[in-house]
Amino acid sequence: YKRNMYARESFIANPAQPLQMGKIEPDEDSQIRNQQIQARIHTALDVELGDKERNIQAAQGKLADLQHEILNSEKQILKATEELKELEDAVAQKKMSEAEKERLRQQLSGKIQLLNQLRQEALELEKQMEWQRREMDKKHREIEDLGKHLASLSPLDPRHSHVKAQKAGKEQQLDMMDQNYRQLEGRLDDMLSRIAKETEEIKDLEQQLTEGQIAANEALKRDLEGIIAGLQEYLESVKGQAKQAHDECRELHAEREDLLQRLTELEEEKKQLEAVALEAEGMRKEIAELEHSLQEQQELNESLRQAQGDLSEYEAELEAQLKARDAEAKQLKEELERRKRLSHMESSALQAELEKDKQALENALTKAQLLEETDQENQKLLSQMDQLQGENDYLKEQLENFQAQLANAVDNLVHPEQISARVSELKRKLQTGVGEIRCTSPTDVLGRNLAELQQQFNEILAKSQEEKKEAQERQRKLQEEIAALQEKAKEAPAEYKRACNKAAEAKMQALKRQYEAKLRQLENEIQRLKGKLKSMEEIQGLADQQLVEADEEREKLLSELQDMENQRKMEDAVAQKQLSALDKELRELKRAVAVSDKLAASELSNAKEQLQSLHGTVLKINQERVEEMKEAENVNTQAEQASRNLAKAEAEIDLLQNILKEREKQLQEEMQNADAGMATSSYQHQEIEKLNHTMRRQRGEIDRLKHLLDHARL
């Protein structure tokens, strides 16, 4: 070992500078931006709070409306139950009245059968009396012959006493026949009195049946008026419900507009958040670059301290530094690739968020379409209500027309078979749709009314066909609009996606160019790092402080971004809940409107059928009543006239019988007196013949009147 004479001990100074702490003043632009972000956040929170309060108030109002609707529905149910009970009572009363009518009809048929039986017995008695009269006339002729023969014989002739005895026997037989004839007349009088009594009872039963029919018609009229009043009240209630549903649809439209405005605001906030995120990303990149520059400066400081001892080591270090720069360039390239991947992931995340927003927008548009459809359905319901009201008024007019036609029919007394034939003709022509009802004469009121009725039916059918065509045309237009909207909705996402992809590609190209420019700038700065080493060491402390503050700012921005993201998610969840609640309420409203529409249609059809059946029953009953009253009046008139004629004829017969009896007594007394002359006897015989002729004529008149009475009663 040989000592180096040139070696000596000395002190190498440390080129490291002392650490200095400082504070970087915040930028005024960033401070203003932060204040604007905070103001927007507070404004968004205030708006959201106001929206929630309005939604709560609207929900409370809807709850009160629903409770009010429930109370109204319960009242309507109670009222319908009472009307149903009244109808059941009316039906039961009608059944009882029908049973009473059936009993009266049975009694009337029994009385008519008894009257026919009595009439038959009276006819048999009249036949017996006629036979008795013929026998009496025969006996009278025999007595007259015997009287003539006895007058031709002398009292001294032995045949005189024999002829006289025969004459006395014949007269005795005539007296017995006269007694039998009187008994038959008494029986006939009893029969006629019983017939008159039964006729009066039949009249009473017919009067009771007519009064029962009138009472039933009045009850039916009252029931019809009650049913019409109930239908009118129900139509008013349904109209009120439709108006309330229309108001709710307007409120839903207003809420839809608020939601769309809120959606627009959220999209603007999302764009602002995206801008803030881009700014934060830029700040993160700048921080990473500063960290990387700081690390490079530290490595350069270390390498320079080591290079001061030995130039060869310095050159080797420079070569290592060049290799490190190459490695750093590779690392920067890898970092660029990583940044590209991160930007691609962030663009994917943004695209997913945009897809979510787009889905929310589509849902909002769907809800808007549903609201528009609900509004259209409400408009249809209102038009249907107006149409039902018009049909109700038309039914009232028809009822009044039918009543007027009934009055005209009663005045004109059209035959039932003619009415049935004309109505059957009208039904056949309405079913076939071919031909028209024509009036047979200018006074044909029935034909004119049926022609007007056919014309009204044809107008109603034509109107219904036109409304059906219009409804089909509106449905076709709505389907075309829905298809067009669906096509637009399908095309909008594709265009939006293409625009997003183009924006992302442009952004990636810009970032790539920016990173390449920065890479070239770093390569240029590598050549100038040696000259700037001292200045970099001086600002190292400031850079460390800025790094700490940048980390704090970054954490603060990340926390704010996280809070805003959570807030946006909460707002999306609340909006989704509100939309689902509105959708549910809309479905319930549509279901309630459909149910009320079906109930109104079924009740109206039932009421129409009841009105038609009741109107037909009223027409039939009135026609039967008019015919029966007319027949009863004719029968009563004929029966009264025949009874008067019969009583008059019977009185004349009684008078003639009394006169005949007196004459026969006088004849017997005069025949017993043999001293009486032949002239007086012949004169008395002539008077007896006249009286018998008159009595036969009166009996013929009685037979004729009885025949007329029987014909009138049949």
What is the Cα–Cα distance from 260 to 631, expressed in whole angstroms? 81
Answer whether residue 611 is part of any domain.
Answer: yes
pLDDT at 462: 72
Phi/psi class of residue 676: alpha, beta or left (left: φ > 0; alpha: ψ in -120 to 50)?
Answer: beta
Taking CB atoms within 8 Å and a gap of at least 24, the contacts of 470-478 are 478/373, 478/376
Q: Is 27 helix (H, G, I), strand (E, B) or coil?
A: coil
**Which residues lie closer than 8 Å to 389 by C-beta, 6 or more apart?**
235, 239
Tokens of 51: 């929206």
Return the sign of the alpha-carbon dihedral for residues 611, 614, 620, 625: negative
pLDDT at 203: 76
Instruction: Yes or no: say if 192 and 126 are a contact pair by the CB < 8 Å rule.
Output: no
pLDDT at 644: 72
178 sits in which H/E element: helix 158-307
How many CB atoms sit inside 10 A of residue 434's CB?
8
Tokens of 558: 């990340």
What is the Cα–Cα distance from 515 to 506, expressed in whole angstroms? 14
Give the whole-number percent of the chain exceeding pLDDT 90: 0
Residue type, 695: M
Q: What is the CA radius of gyration of the chain?
A: 62
Answer whether residue 2 is part of any domain.
Answer: no
Give the whole-number percent of the chain exceeding pLDDT 70: 33
The larger pLDDT score, comparing residue 519 to residue 14, is at 519
What is the Cα–Cα distance from 367 to 362, expressed in whole angstroms? 9
Q: Give the position of tokens 């009120």.
A: 240
pLDDT tier at 92, thresholds 50, 70, 90: low
| Shared domain check, 616 and 707 | no
| Shared domain check, 113 and 53 | yes
Residue type, 443: T
What is the Cα–Cα distance from 141 to 145, expressed in whole angstroms? 6
pLDDT tier at 23, thresholds 50, 70, 90: very low
What is the Cα–Cα distance from 538 to 544, expressed in whole angstroms? 11
pLDDT at 687: 64
- Tell me the average pLDDT of the chain: 67
pLDDT tier at 126, thresholds 50, 70, 90: confident
How large is the average pLDDT for residues 91-114? Answer: 69
- How big, in percent rounded to 5, are the helix, strand and coil portions of the chain? 90, 0, 10
Of the listed ranges 71-85, 272-286, 435-449, the one predicted with least confidence: 435-449
Instruction: Yes or no: say if 323 and 38 are a contact pair by the CB < 8 Å rule.
Output: no
Cα 10–Cα 14–Cα 17 angle in degrees, nearest 5:
155
Backbone angles phi, psi at 696, to 5 degrees: -65, -40
What is the Cα–Cα distance from 476 to 478, expressed in whole angstroms? 5
The CA distances from residue 337 to 331, 333, 564, in Å, are 10, 6, 29
Answer whether residue 367 is part of any domain.
Answer: no
Domain boundary among 608, 630, 652: 630
Q: Give the position of tokens 């590209």.
A: 340
The larger pLDDT score, comparing residue 427 to residue 631, is at 631
Q: Give the position of tokens 């009396």.
A: 129
pLDDT tier at 434, thresholds 50, 70, 90: low
| Shared domain check, 558 and 673 | no
Cα 711–Cα 713–Cα 714 angle in degrees, nearest 5:
65
Task: With a cut of 60, say whether residue 501 has pLDDT above it.
Answer: no
Tokens of 75: 């009242």
Answer whether residue 20 is part of any domain.
Answer: no
Task: With a cut of 50, say whether residue 704 has pLDDT above it.
Answer: yes
How large is the average pLDDT for residues 574-592? Answer: 69
Q: In 333-356, which positions are buried (b, 16+ CB within 10 angstroms) versus exposed (e)?
A: eebbeebeeebeebbeebbeebee
Backbone angles phi, psi at 320, to 5 degrees: -60, -35
| Shared domain check, 588 and 487 | yes
DSSP-derived secondary structure letter, 676: S
Task: With a cut of 60, say whether residue 89 has pLDDT above it.
Answer: yes
| Shared domain check, 617 and 653 | no
How large is the average pLDDT for residues 129-136? Answer: 84
Instruction: Yes or no: say if 290 and 547 are a contact pair by the CB < 8 Å rule.
Output: yes
Domain boundary among 566, 597, 630: 630
| Shared domain check, 654 and 580 | no
The larger pLDDT score, comparing residue 482 to residue 548, is at 548
Q: Is 273 helix (H, G, I), strand (E, B) or coil?
A: helix
Most confident by average pLDDT, 186-190, 304-308, 333-337, 530-534: 186-190
| Shared domain check, 660 and 558 | no
Task: With a cut of 70, say whether residue 164 has pLDDT above it.
Answer: yes
**Which residues lie closer than 8 Å to 58 by C-beta, 6 or more apart?**
251, 255
Tokens of 326: 């190459």
Q: Residue 69's closest CA among 58, 61, 255, 230?
A: 61
| Shared domain check, 651 and 605 | no
Taking only the tens place, the pLDDT of each residue in 224-241 is: 666 666 656 765 665 666
Answer whether residue 13 is part of any domain.
Answer: no
Number of domains in the chain: 2
Domain boundary among 630, 652, 672: 630
pLDDT at 238: 59
Residue 513 lies in domain: 38-150+171-306+315-350+381-630
Instruction: Yes or no: say if 165 and 143 are a contact pair by the CB < 8 Å rule.
Output: no
Answer whether residue 362 is part of any domain.
Answer: no
| Shared domain check, 452 and 518 | yes
Answer whether residue 361 is part of any domain.
Answer: no
3-state secondary structure 486-508: HHHHHHHHHHHHHHHHHHHHHHH
Answer whether residue 669 is part of any domain.
Answer: yes
What is the Cα–Cα distance from 675 to 507, expressed in whole angstroms? 171
| Shared domain check, 546 and 422 | yes
Q: What pTM was computed for the model?
A: 0.25
| Shared domain check, 458 and 576 | yes
Task: With a cut of 80, say whether residue 140 has pLDDT above it.
Answer: yes
Most confident by average pLDDT, 93-102, 186-195, 614-623: 186-195
| Shared domain check, 653 and 507 | no
Task: With a cut of 50, say whether residue 678 has pLDDT above it.
Answer: no
